[in-house]
Amino acid sequence: MAVHPIEYRYFYPEMKRIWTEENKLETWLKVEATLAKVHAKLGNIPQPSSEEIERKANLNFVKLERVKTIEEEIQHDLMAMIEALTEVCEGEAKNYVHLGATSYDIEDTALSLQLKDAIKIIENDLNELKTVLINLANNHKQTVCVARTHGQHALPTTYGMKFALWATEMQRHLERLEEMKRRVLVGKMTGAVGTGASHGEKAGDIHKLVMEELNLESTLITTQIVQRDRHAELVMKLALIASTLDKMAKEIRNLQRTEIAEVMEPVKVKQVGSSAMPHKRNPHKSERICGLARIVKSFVYTSLENVSLEHERDLTNSAPERIIYTEAFILLDYMLRQMAQILNGLEFNYDNIKRNLDLTKGLIMTEHLMNGLVKKGMGRQEAHEFLRNCSHEVIKTGKGLKEVLIDNGISKYFTEEELNWYLNPKNYLGNAINQVENVIKTLSTR
């Protein structure tokens, strides 16, 4: 029976499979088989023994149930795998299983293989989400809306700017993941304290060749384990992606507020928002992403704590790592795919977008007007003070900015046609459209 929500609620099967007990065991066995292959290549063990270990090092012969039974008795999961593999090997091959290795030669190397597969899925998710955002940016590069700073209406912008901005963030996450791989996707085959003593004079060759076979980077130096600064960097990168999704989801939630109501999450025909309030249409998918982001970000602390292990290693990292990598990757994969679904079905209320542009009765155009007054000969500070006083009058009286400006003598500087031009949000977008088009062009080639 499933207990944890990542087992039955917040997951997609492809990522979940990477972190199953079966896949973990299969990956351990893959490393064991590779070690035997390298030993044979270097003449350390007979070729037939290597072939027997390679043939038996899979789930067809080594059963998870048997490994668990052995572990229950000996209280060591990796050693249980070794015993189960040794049991099924025939002849001399039994003598060479796990030769010269320590548990974390297998565990850390196998973990990197799992991380490699998991990162690939995250990269695919990021690319898919980036594509969705590029399409939205292109479709809405001229959808003028109000920008908000400090929660207040500021200036005109476009929805294309929002989506293009997020798309560039996806690209940076992809670049960070790629750049980090050479530090994180590493393995070791250097024995119990990192000296390689158990492999003798061929220790360096064994370490190098095993990693080449597995297509992993070789560590330059280790203790019993790969140092956890590498893994902490990875978790911080995952948390950074979660933070971006948190930001995006929060923006969607705020824009769906009743009093703003510019965009809406997609909704199914029979979807219920509240058991008590039949009218509710809540942004629950975005809220869920914000909530799950808190969990992923919390793993940064744990991963940093795992860096400071004692001497050549202690086991305090083991239990946390059984949790944080599995949950971080499964949840982040879920969040990325959910965000893509939200954005693919995002609904726009253009009437409300226009209503909100006009809500402050022209106040969002005061910077544009100030620049225009300077061009007409008024000093910049004088123009600022003039418009500040007019703005306060708008707020106090409820009149429109145009009316207040005319009452205060703006006609000395602008004709009515010029005034209308300066008050039109579409005329104060700077190079927003060009920026969006440049983002689309740049990201479409990456």
Catalytic residues: 150, 274
User: How many degrees, rounded to 5, is the angle at CA 118 between CA 114 and CA 119?
Assistant: 115
CB atoms within 10 A of CB 44: 19
Task: Please tell me what DSSP assigns to residue 219.
Answer: P
Residue 394 CA, distance from chain mean position? 44
Contact call for residues 191 and 197 (beta carbons, < 8 A): yes
Contacts of residue 434, Cβ cutoff 8 Å, sequence gap at least 6: none
Cα separation, 29 vs 17, whole angstroms: 16
- R_g of the chain, CA atoms, integer Å: 30
Read off φ and ψ for residue 401, nearest 5 degrees.
Answer: -60, -40
* H-run or E-run covering 291: helix 284-305
DSSP 377-389: T--HHHHHHHHHH
For CA atoms 243, 249, 253, 255, the dihedral sign is positive
The residue count of the chain comes to 446
Identify the burial level of 243 via C-beta atoms within 10 angstroms of its C-beta, where 0-12 means exposed, 13-18 middle and 19 or more buried: middle
Cα separation, 34 vs 106, whole angstroms: 10
Strands 217-218 and 263-264: unpaired
Cα separation, 396 vs 406, whole angstroms: 17
